Amino acid sequence: MKKIILSAAAFMMLFSCQNDQTESATTTANAITQRGCASHEVLAAQLAADPTLAIRMNKIEAFTQNAKLTSRLVNGKVEIPVVVNVLYNTAAENISDAQIQSQIDVLNEDFNAGNSDYNSVPTIFSGDKANVGITFVLETINRKSTKKKSWGTRDTMKNGKRGGIDATSPDTKLNMWVCTIGGGILGYAQFPGGNDSTDGVAIDSKYFGLSGSANAPYNLGRTATHEVGHWMNLRHIWGDTTCGDDLVSDTPTHNTANYGVPAYPHYSTCTGTPVEMTMNYMDYTDDPGMYMFTNGQKSRMAALFVSGGYRAGFGI
């Protein structure tokens, strides 16, 4: 049985923070060679700043492990209103409405098994792949011109007094901030339990939606799929430590993150030497290399939206 009660110190061990992302971080356009997600580093910093966060996350985890998952909401599915906040210094950063809608379309495909590569899941995992059944509806697009050239991972893009855009109704809407993050980071998310004012996901504008061949291999919208997975309480599939625990029972134990598009089968050297699920959205592979969630991940996400769940306010 997986241990679900964690002290703040234990959380810090799970999510060790390199603390190398600053507001002045810079980015090298089109030169990122490996996926960079700062969600666990951001969580570590939040845990250090707020000792009560670990308590809130423990309660969410306990509920997740014990929730009776029953459908309730629109047509038996969870429906998420989305607010997209665009912060731009250049015309290229002020991405079009069409590109924003393309990202919503990708989320709807990926979370509803409508992605064209869903049937590419290897036979060994065919019984684990899941139609999560969560839909996304674009509600509002907010735009703001800024003199900042990069925002880092300290949530300043979410603060109107610091040049960003304040979150809109985070208890009932998914806020997405689209801007240049810098430091080789494609995006990051806030896990359930954090402050409402910073709740949501941040995605670099170059990797948001179907962003064109110039931004390959991160041009298929999967960065947002990965980060929204974190926002829905999914951890990286390798548990952010060698042979770690992602708190999901039907994902294989991974040595660490995988990059690029690994050849199948890719074996872990962890206990049991399982075939790694490199095509899972919560790995670090390139966009063309990730195309599935599991039933266990689906259950973990669904627990947020049932009565008593942390995000039960959505869709009511």
- For the cut 60, the answer to whether the pLDDT of residue 233 exceeds it is yes
pLDDT score at 6: 44
Average pLDDT, the chain: 88
Of 41, 93, 227, 276, which one is the catalytic site residue? 227
- For the cut 60, the answer to whether the pLDDT of residue 17 exceeds it is no
Task: Identify each DSSP E strand in the chain by its residue range.
Answer: 78-88, 134-145, 174-179, 187-189, 201-204
- pTM for this prediction: 0.86
The CATH class of the 8-302 domain is alpha beta
Give the DSSP letter of residue 206.
G
Per the CB < 8 A criterion, the answer to whether 251 and 296 are in contact is yes
Determine what percent of the chain falls in helix, strand and coil, rounding each to the nearest 5: 30, 15, 55
The predicted-structure confidence for 85-94, as pLDDT tens digits, reads as follows 999 999 999 9
Strand 174-179 relative to strand 134-145: parallel, antiparallel, unpaired?
Answer: unpaired
Please say if 61 is a catalytic residue: no
- For the cut 80, the answer to whether the pLDDT of residue 40 exceeds it is no
Q: What are the sequence ranges of the domains in the chain?
A: 8-302
Region 181-189: mean pLDDT is 96
Beta-bridge partner residues of 136: 80
Per the CB < 8 A criterion, the answer to whether 33 and 188 are in contact is no
Q: Which stretches within the chain are classed as H helix?
A: 8-14, 39-49, 52-66, 97-110, 222-231, 295-302
Beta-bridge partner residues of 84: 141, 176
pLDDT score at 315: 52
Distance separating alpha carbons of residues 173 and 246, to the nearest angstrom? 26
